[in-house]
A and B are shown apart, each in its own frame.
Chain A
Amino acid sequence: MSELIFEQSQPNRSAPTQMPVDFLSDRAIDLPESSLRTTKPLLPEVSELQVVRHYTNLSKQLFSVDTHFYPLGSCTMKYNPHIMHQLASLPGFLNRHPLSSEEHGQGFLACLFELQEILKAVTGMAGVSLTPMAGAQGEFAGISMIRQYHQSRHDDGRTEIIVPDAAHGTNPASASMCGYTIKEIPTLESGDLDLDALKKAVGPQTAGIMLTNPSTLGVFERRIKEVAEIVHNAGGLLYYDGANLNAILGKVRPGDMNFDVMHINLHKTFGTPHGGGGPGAGPVAVNKRLLPFLPVPYVEKVDEDYRWVTDKTATQSIGQLSAFMGNAGILLRAYVYTRLLGAEGMTRVAEFACLNSNYMKKRFEQLGFKIDLPERRASHEFIISMKDQADAYHVTAMDYAKRLLDYGYHAPTVYFPLIVPECMLIEPTETETKETLDEFIDTMAKIKQEAMTNPELVQKAPHTTSLKRLDAVKAARELNLVYTPVV
């Protein structure tokens, strides 16, 4: 592993060109002694070149979409067009203070307004607010709106949110942050929701249900209209987790499936970069009855002018979720992406994401991998279970994941969804070529051979990365979260 930047530090070394030059050294710092710092913070004292070399070299120890095939299920690691970054970084956008006047932001506001309109069209919803800073915050905003809706009707007995057992962990966590208790319902062997269980679960205590469709199992919830009817008849609302919107873009709209509210992960469906874990963006869309509760601020167009709508006029809004207006720079990138795609391009996203996924699924099946829900049509992702191989050769899904790194692939998602044992969730995305998919499939077949003939090779992988397998137990038992210099 590389030396830490702190270990390269030498007292009194610095990068002088980064210091303010017209520092008013003759002026005293007029602050009370008791409020001042007396210790030197642990920041490195290094040259500019040292910094540049260190962090450039670190970047090389990192798999990314631009460098590797990255079929991480549920995360949609597709190509992020470079032009998005370049255009979002134009000085007019980059140097604008969030509290500067609307007059000095008409170009920016126009982009946001049009993005709102585009998202309305693709979701079939009546209103959009772009402010949530991530999918999880979008979920929080959505469930908050459901809560506010029931409260506005003095329907106070609704304390439960229903969540399928296959749901993303964020769903129950978001509902819990909104003060709801969670009722989990099972999924049938067929991959569909257990409607009998749902019918038993709903009642006057039901505030709503959170659903991902296609589900995290990578199949479409076929009886979605019945689900909506059951929940609506019980007085609850339907939340659509837009994590898998890319699988149905331009094919089906959540609004048409009778969902009331949803979020959209712009970094999944609309190609914004994942940045090593963020920033993302999680705009929310609602149907008519939830319009008054949208989080502020959002943009309206009055004649030819774009204006912020704030809590001054949107008095029933659930409020604002960030200091300003969310991850503006990500929104601009997503806007650029939507314009590059256009209506037809968006439909192609779903078509080719599903084509790649179903193709891979079929090929894996032919190679003898155990497919979860083989009789179903896969959506943009599918699951293979390594349970048989784990039992037979003691080679687990995690071992496969690590061995893939040796072959230059980022691993698919492993051990999610939690309800399928030893699973790998594979999402190729629409931007990968058939050749890449074929090579990946061949590699998996090769690892399968290795697992049978030389299991240790797979169990001890990776062998070619800068480090061997890391000890997660040690990291958790002997917590070391910050560097302490050796004195």
Chain B
Amino acid sequence: MPFIPHTEKDVHAMLESIGIRSINELFDEIPPELLIDQLPAIPKALNEMQIARLMKDRAKQDENTLCFIGAGAYEHHIPAAVWDIAGRVEYMTAYTPYQPEASQGELQLLYEYQTMMASLTGMDASNASLYDGASAVAEAILMAIRSNRQCQSKRVVIPTTLNPLYRKAIQAIVSKQSVELIEIPFDEKTGRITVEAIDKIVNQEFAALVIPQPNFFGLLGDVDALTDWAHQRQALAIAVVNPMTLALLKEPGLWGEKGADIACGEAQPFGIPLSSGGPYLGFLCCKNEYIRQMPGRIVGQTTDADGKIGYILTLQAREQHIRRSKATSNICSNQGLMAVAATIYLSLLGPKGLKRVAAASHQKTMLLAEKATKLKGVEVLFHGHYFHEIVLQLPQPAEPIIQEMACYQIAPGLALGEFYPGMDNALLVCCTETKTEEDINKYIECLKQALKNKAIKK
């Protein structure tokens, strides 16, 4: 019996202690008509060798191509030490550190994680992680509404330049609490939103403005002006950032005159594999005055009975196991193991390494764009400053080009037509430090070929 260590003798002795004759008697309080004899439609057990063979065959079907897709999940180099250590059984098979004396390793690590994230975002505090980037933004929105006591409304302003997949998840998560999301369309020339544009649309009171930087198209926006604009209207500014870019870009805590109030997003770029979409690592950081409205686990420093420094879960009275229906969120678990990986990654890279990864990703994306726009009919769609993703406007629909390039083992990017009506020819491309100049040349070569093939077939 898989993973069950009992010998017949054990079972016999245990039943005797309990005072019953068979294991089935343990279920005698269950109404007999509800009991089933067997589970149909479940395959017979495999042993380890058999399941390994099956999974290896399946993984092979998915062996990947050269990937230039970003859109919220980024392929970066993951140092070998990251998962050698994060994968240690102690980190892997522990639970939430409820008994701090037996969990100092995890707790100290999370305190270090909180420190790194708070510093990268320029905030005062960080929680110990959330599920993923999309749900982190949703939680940030709910947190902002709770925090903003100046404002009676549950309205939140969101630009359509926020990742459309995030917008879907946010809608599903916050709409049940009658939060109203006001979507702001982007300027068709610049791919961004401006203070002037929002000012025209938003004429009611609102609790918070969401500011993505870079935005979904990879573009940098005028975050200082947007932050100040929100503050002038007594609203909170929520920064949605790729923390990798913060090695180079101004931290949200310093945006505008007073800085953003909450910073959140996806920390998957820090040592976490693409892995088909998860598990990833949502992060949430904020200024001091909002800490008590923060959802999720938070680790604090304290001392033990002998006065030695140690770490412990704190501010638990916010959480569901104490506050129940009045908790800041229903969140119970976090993505602890992912936070372990991110902390080890950030320690290995350090400030210098992280900056070089960010810079290399930016420069390689610029190089790719430069080369791609030399192809006939290929242009950069929006004029502006891109970080490490860029929108290429192709002379024909992007989707068939993607299919064509798949034949060359290249995933050339994301077709934007699905998310933005009328943008069928637009391709969102991402380059990270993992791509060599040869990779980029191969990309350009295949794109050229694909454009030609598809043009002929037309």
Contacts and interface: CB of A to CB of B under 8 A. Distances in A.
Interaction A to B: yes
Interface in B230-281: 246-251, 254, 266, 273-280
Contact of A474 (B31, B302, B306): B302
A41 B276 contact: no
Given A275-B336, A322-B131, A344 B45 contact: yes
A135 B332 contact: yes
B331 interface: yes
A46 B51 CA distance: 41
B65 interface: yes
Q: Is the interface of A mostly helix, strand, loop or mixed?
A: loop
A347 interface: yes
Contacts of A29: 248, 359, 362-363
A14 to B, nearest CB: 5
A346 B3 CA distance: 11
Contact of A18 (B79, B133, B275, B340): B79
B43 A339 contact: yes
Interface string B286-320: 00000100000111111111101111101101011
Given A66-B89, A377-B26, A467-B308, A32 B279 contact: no
Contacts of B57: 107
B55 A62 contact: no
B155 to A, nearest CB: 16
Nearest to B89: A66
B297 to A, nearest CB: 6
B111 A133 contact: no
Contacts of B306: 467-468
Given A30-B385, A80-B92, A470-B312, A37 B250 contact: yes
A56 B86 CA distance: 9
Given A66-B92, A95-B64, A350-B27, 12 more contacts: A45-B351, A97-B75, A136-B330, A169-B321, A176-B327, A177-B176, A250-B36, A256-B36, A275-B93, A322-B135, A324-B277, A341-B2
Given A65-B93, A321-B173, A339-B54, A20 B356 contact: yes
Given A107-B62, A472-B302, A63 B94 contact: yes
Contacts of A121: 39-42
A466 B291 CA distance: 29
A24 B360 contact: yes
Most B C-beta atoms less than 10 A away, residue of A92, A225, A482 = A482
Interface string B25-42: 011111100111011111
A99 B71 contact: yes
Contact of A482 (B52, B126, B312): B126
Nearest to A114: B43
A185 interface: no
B273 A479 contact: no
Given A48-B81, A325-B278, A476-B314, A101 B406 contact: yes
A252 to B, nearest CB: 5
Given A319-B172, A320-B165, A339-B46, A358 B18 contact: yes
B226 interface: no
A322 B350 contact: no
B356 A19 contact: yes
Contacts of A57: 105
A405 B102 contact: yes
A202 interface: no
A311 to B, nearest CB: 7
Interface stretch (A69-77, A232-240, A383-391): A69-77
B26 A107 contact: no
A37 B97 contact: no
B4 interface: yes
A322 B278 contact: yes
B105 A62 contact: yes
Given A55-B344, A91-B63, A62 B91 contact: yes
B347 A277 contact: no
A367 interface: no
B422 interface: no
A106 interface: yes
B364 A24 contact: yes
Interface string A216-234: 0001101011000000000
Contacts of A280: 333
Interface residues of A, number: 202
B4 A431 contact: yes
Interface stretch (A2-10, A193-201, A450-458): A2-10
A104 B45 contact: no
Contacts of B112: 4-6, 483
Given A78-B3, A325-B277, A342-B43, A36 B169 contact: no
A402 to B, nearest CB: 7
B205 interface: no
Contacts of A350: 27
A278 B335 contact: yes
Nearest to B86: A55
A309 interface: no
A104 B64 contact: yes
A94 interface: yes
Contacts of B124: 481-482
A251 B97 contact: no
A105 interface: yes
Contacts of B275: 93-94, 96, 328-329
A483 B325 contact: no
Contact of B171 (A42, A176, A278, A319): A319
B323 A169 contact: yes
A355 interface: yes
Interface string B66-95: 010101110101010101110111111111
Interface string A414-450: 0010000000000000111110000000000000000
B99 A401 contact: yes
Given A15-B348, A99-B414, A276 B95 contact: yes
Interface stretch (B114-122, B184-192, B371-379, B389-397): B114-122
B244 to A, nearest CB: 11
B445 interface: no
A434 B42 contact: no
Contact of A61 (B60, B104, B300, B364): B104
B93 A347 contact: no
A333 to B, nearest CB: 10
B172 A343 contact: no
B312 to A, nearest CB: 5
B375 to A, nearest CB: 21
Contacts of A189: none
A472 B336 contact: no
Contacts of B351: 40-41, 43, 45
Contacts of A55: 85, 109, 340, 343-344, 347
A295 interface: yes
B148 interface: no
Contact of B337 (A173, A225, A275, A410): A275
A319 B352 CA distance: 41
A363 B17 contact: yes
Contacts of A434: 6, 10, 13-14
A37 B246 contact: yes
Most B C-beta atoms less than 10 A away, residue of A250, A320, A405 = A320
B195 interface: no
B278 A327 contact: yes
Contacts of B176: 144, 147, 177-179
A431 B333 CA distance: 23
Nearest to A415: B321
B64 A172 contact: no
A97 B336 contact: no
B119 A43 contact: yes
Contact of B125 (A140, A173, A482): A482
A471 B39 contact: no
Interface string B408-438: 0001001000000000000000000100110
Contacts of A336: 51, 55
A321 B347 contact: no
Nearest to A252: B34
Nearest to B99: A411
